[in-house]
Amino acid sequence: KVSTMILQYYVTESTTGNRTNIEIEAATKEDLDTLPGIGPATAQKIIDYRQEHGNFSSIEDIKNVKGIGEAKFSKMQDKICT
């Protein structure tokens, strides 16, 4: 039960109006894979980057992940939060 509670704490989504944003600091690979332009490999790169460098200070920091440039960022920017 404790591990389930911890997982629920870290896998959070922020709701703004009628849209739900993925919290990139805590999202699972499966959560990240739902973002436009992000597949399983890039989702894993995001997680690896987060583990190596710590939490993202802003959503723009996700562009520091190899494979995420301005084009991918523009597709997902209104669907993510920190």
The structure's pTM equals 0.77
pLDDT digits (tens, 9 = 90+) for 15-70: 445 468 999 999 999 999 999 999 999 999 999 999 999 999 999 999 999 999 99
Cα–Cα distance measured from residue 19 to residue 22, given in angstroms and rounded to the nearest whole number: 10
Using the CB atoms, write b or e for 2-40: b if 16+ within 10 Å.
eeeeeeeeeeeeeeeeeeebbbbbbbeeebbbebeebee
Q: Which two tokens stand for residue 34?
A: 């739902």
Asked if residue 16 lies in contact with residue 25, where contact means CB atoms within 8 angstroms, the answer is: no
